[in-house]
Structures are given as structure tokens and as C-alpha cells.
Amino acid sequence: MRQKHISRRIWLNGLIAIGIAQIIIGRAAMAGDQATGDAYQFEFAALDGGKLPLSAWRGHPILVVNTASFCGYTPQYRDLEALWKQYRDRGVIVLGVPSNDFGQQEPGSATEIKQFCETNYDVDFPLTEKYRVVGADAHPFYRWAAGVLGEGGAPRWNFHKYLIGANGQLAGTWPSGVRPTDKAITGEIDTALAGK
């Protein structure tokens, strides 16, 4: 009887090990698929209608930031607008991606988001429709970026920043606490512009 119990335990442990291996292999394959190509393969819908294909900005650095209207980091809209004004004549794009993924801090409609950004922060850089930025339902750009960067590459909160270099590859990433006007970001933008 004891031998039968041990055999059953070995059999169950084997099944569990096979299941875990399949999950790991599946995730690695999915990350690998998502990590191919460059950022120019992705497109967002604009907040006020139309399309925002990243390929339209081929050869230009693009700062992609997931945003929210009711977050402790929301004042970074002011810094994003300042960065946009400082660099747009040199071809740098700032792209805001509203998301309700963290703390339900972007509950509004497209009209409400646009009005909030324009009224409170005079935002005139491009904004996308509201998207998921984490998990299996995240916008394909965010799944790609997480795949390229590996573990920890996905946003952990609102106002996570990705810099796409002029070659369409990720040139930098910064967490929420790093302001858009921080020298770490502007230095990478300057480097990306110099390498154009």
C-alpha cells in the first residue's frame, strides 16, 4: 500500500513539474515573440480620433509615458509639456498613453481626459486613447517593451517612461519617480538626437 502511495505522489509531482515547465517555456516563447522588431511596428488610436502610428515618427526619439489624471505623479504632465516644448523643434515626440491600470486613477472618458489635460496643464503633445499597459491585455507596444526589457520591464505605476531611440529600439526606461525633465532622461534624449 505504501509503495502505491509513493508511486502516486511521484506521478503527481511529475505532472506538476511538466505543467510548470510548459508555463515557463510558454512565457519565454511569448516574450521572445513580443521582443522582436522595433517600436515602429506599433500604432495607437489618438485620444481625439485618428491613428498614431509610431512609424510616422521614424528616425525621431519618442518618449512614451503611461499617464493618469488622479495620481500623485499627475503634475508630471507639466514636465512632459515642458520637455515637449523644449525638444519638439528638434524632432522629439512626447506621447501620453492614458491608463486606468493603477489605482483606477484614470476613470474618465476621452473627452474628460483631454479637457483635464488641456485645462490643468496646457497639454498639446499627442495623447492616445486609454489603454491597458500591463498584463496579457496590455497594448502590444507595452507587451513588446516588457519582452525586450525582461523581468521588471513593465510599468509598475503611472508615469513610467520609455524612450525609443531614432532607430526604433528602446534607449531607456525610467520609473514613475523620475521626472521627465530629469537629466537622466534629457541626457538620453540628447544622445539619441546626436546619434540620428
Model confidence, pTM: 0.83
> In residues, how long is the chain?
196
- 33 pLDDT exceeds 50? no
Using CA atoms, how far residue 107 sits from 44, 69, 101, in Å, is: 19, 8, 10
Is the same domain home to 6 and 77? Answer: no
Residues 78-101, mean pLDDT to the nearest whole number: 98
Q: How confident is the model at residue 86 (pLDDT cuts 50, 70, 90)?
A: very high
- 42 pLDDT exceeds 50? yes
129-179 confidence digits (pLDDT tens): 999 999 999 999 999 999 999 988 999 999 999 999 999 999 999 999 999
User: In terms of residue numbers, what domain contains 84?
Assistant: 39-194
Q: How confident is the model at residue 105 (pLDDT cuts 50, 70, 90)?
A: very high
Secondary structure, 3-state, 69-112: CCCCCCCHHHHHHHHHHHHHHHCCEEEEEECCCCCCCCCCCHHH
Is the same domain home to 162 and 190? Answer: yes
The confidence score (pLDDT) of residue 39 equals 98
Is the same domain home to 28 and 44? Answer: no
Is the same domain home to 84 and 109? Answer: yes
Active site residues: 71
The confidence score (pLDDT) of residue 152 equals 85
Is the same domain home to 145 and 67? Answer: yes
Task: Indicate which CATH number applies to the domain containing 139.
Answer: 3.40.30.10
Is the same domain home to 129 and 170? Answer: yes
Give me the helix-helix angle, 140-149 and 2-34, nearest 10°. Answer: 110
Is the same domain home to 14 and 46? Answer: no
The confidence score (pLDDT) of residue 10 equals 61
Q: How confident is the model at residue 29 (pLDDT cuts 50, 70, 90)?
A: very low
